[in-house]
Copies of this chain bind each other. A is one copy, B any other.
Amino acid sequence: MKREMRKGRTVSDLKNAWPALPPAKRIRQFERLPRAEAQDFFLGLDARGHAQILLALPPAERRLWMRSLAPDDAADCVQEAPGEVREALMELLDEPTRKEVAALLAYAEDDAGGLMNPRFARVRPDLRVDEAISYLRREVADQVETIYYAYVLDAEQRLLGVVSFRELVTAPFDKTVRDVMRTDVVAVREETDQEEVGRLLAEHDLMAIPVVDPEGRMKGIVTVDDIVDVVREEATEDIQKIGGTQALEEPYLQVGLGRLIRKRGGWLSVLFLGEMLTASAMGYFEEEIARAVVLALFVPLIISSGGNSGSQATTLVIRAMGVEEVRLRDWWRVMSREVGAGLALGSLLGVIGLTRILLWQWAFHLYGEHYVLVGLTVAASLVGVVLWGTLAGSMLPFLLRTLGFDPANASAPFVATLVDVSGLVIYFSLASLILRGTLL
């Protein structure tokens, strides 16, 4: 076993180095692997890796590798390949698999239909348990992917129930499949979104979930190992959007620099155009600033506090929505919590800010004779801006979802920009109110 373990590490070394290797080197290293390990390694790659290796191999060697893929993986691989070679890849498959793959390619990538494997173990309900086992022994052994359930279908391929291999093996042999199957099957439709599929698998602790059409006929299964990737990818997409980037869709180090810049430049320019309103807002209050330059000193402090509290609120709510802890109808509960949180956090920062101004005045005499009023203006603005930041940050994801957008687009920078502009208005309005007749 020790030797085996060492081998395992070599493959896993290559796997680790993979993202950083240039394509030519990848193929060389791949071809150097012993055949048995190469197969393991190949099957463990994602669709992009499959396509890359297939296309780099001499055409004569491609067939074997392409045929080693399960239909759902073959479909993903074809999808990753450039348009002009897709047909050639399809030609490598045997006739029945080609049909299955073509059917899968018709589904959207994010649907259960696009994730499912059309091959699964099926049994008839009236078989005895021992008959079912020997049937599965004969028919299923090499045709289905590593799966763990046999699905019980009637003559019209409608799903009646499910039984795990373990349950079959441990059931009394003289019972029928109908006796031992579970009928409370959790199933999804072909068009069910992959996030929902993942939620159901996790909620019911399933290894695989059947996909049925509107008539209840079974079309395939989605296995939990595909879902781990989905959960990870969805989280990555959310995180990238929260950070104000378009979803990269590829590992960071593999995205070309040009693409990376475009994915970031779009949002950054939009935010910049929005942020220009701060220059207009500042321009509007230019006279106040000229009369009391002391006011300008606290502009960055106040608007960034609004931005930070907005970032907190929006990321919390986006994630809670992403994992379905918060639904659209919960907006009122979220809002009342955030009003509380905003007032508390704003008051906290207000007190810190006021203390700081009083201390610095006492030590350095920086803020002129009306320092108390300046301090109160800053403190009141902090309460207002933080409250506004948490409200905007927490409600914007709801607004986006209501309008049919992905709430993750309420990114931290987006909320910060929104709050910057309105924060300036809040600050200077409170300043005019509090300082009129003294500084202004």
| Tally of contact residues, A, Cβ under 8 A | 132
A228, A242, A420 pick with most chain B CB within 10 angstroms: A228
Complex-state Cα separation, A201 to B207, whole angstroms: 13
Contact of A349 among B240, B252, B268 (CB under 8 A): B268
Residue of B whose beta carbon sits closest to that of A414: B308
> Which residues of B lie under 8 Å from residue A271 when comparing CB positions?
304-305, 308
Complex-state Cα separation, A298 to B326, whole angstroms: 39
With A232-B202, A282-B300 as contacts: A315 and B261 at CB distance below 8 Å = no
Q: Are A184 and B305 in contact (CB under 8 A)?
A: no
Is A38 close to B, CB under 8 A? no
Is A283 close to B, CB under 8 A? yes
Interface string of A322-339 (1 = CB under 8 A from B): 011111001001100100
In the complex, the count of this chain's copies comes to 2
Q: Are A305 and B275 in contact (CB under 8 A)?
A: yes
Contact of A278 among B43, B141, B300, B323 (CB under 8 A): B300
Is A413 close to B, CB under 8 A? yes
Interface string of A84-96 (1 = CB under 8 A from B): 0000000000000
Q: Are B164 and A269 in contact (CB under 8 A)?
A: no
Is A140 close to B, CB under 8 A? yes
A159, A198, A290, A319 pick with most chain B CB within 10 angstroms: A319
With A148-B148, A417-B304 as contacts: A412 and B337 at CB distance below 8 Å = no
Contact of A273 among B198, B248, B352, B411 (CB under 8 A): B352
Complex-state Cα separation, A252 to B294, whole angstroms: 40
Residue of B whose beta carbon sits closest to that of A8: B184
Q: Are B278 and A301 in contact (CB under 8 A)?
A: yes
With A146-B166, A240-B315 as contacts: A348 and B265 at CB distance below 8 Å = yes
> Which residues of B lie under 8 Å from residue A16 when comparing CB positions?
324, 327
Q: Are B184 and A315 in contact (CB under 8 A)?
A: no
Is A297 close to B, CB under 8 A? yes
Q: Are B308 and A416 in contact (CB under 8 A)?
A: yes
Q: Are B316 and A252 in contact (CB under 8 A)?
A: yes
Is A372 close to B, CB under 8 A? no
Is A57 close to B, CB under 8 A? no
Is A106 close to B, CB under 8 A? no
Residue of B whose beta carbon sits closest to that of A271: B308
Distance from A77 Cβ to chain B, minimum over Cβ atoms (Å)? 15
Contact of A168 among B169, B276, B327 (CB under 8 A): B169
Sample of 17 A–B contacts (CB below 8 Å): A8-B184, A44-B204, A206-B225, A238-B239, A242-B243, A243-B314, A244-B315, A252-B317, A252-B320, A252-B326, A261-B341, A265-B345, A286-B297, A293-B293, A304-B416, A308-B416, A311-B413
Give 13 new A-B contacts, CB below 8 A, not counting A165-B169, A279-B298.
Answer: A8-B184, A40-B184, A147-B166, A164-B165, A169-B169, A235-B236, A261-B344, A261-B345, A265-B344, A268-B349, A272-B305, A275-B308, A293-B296
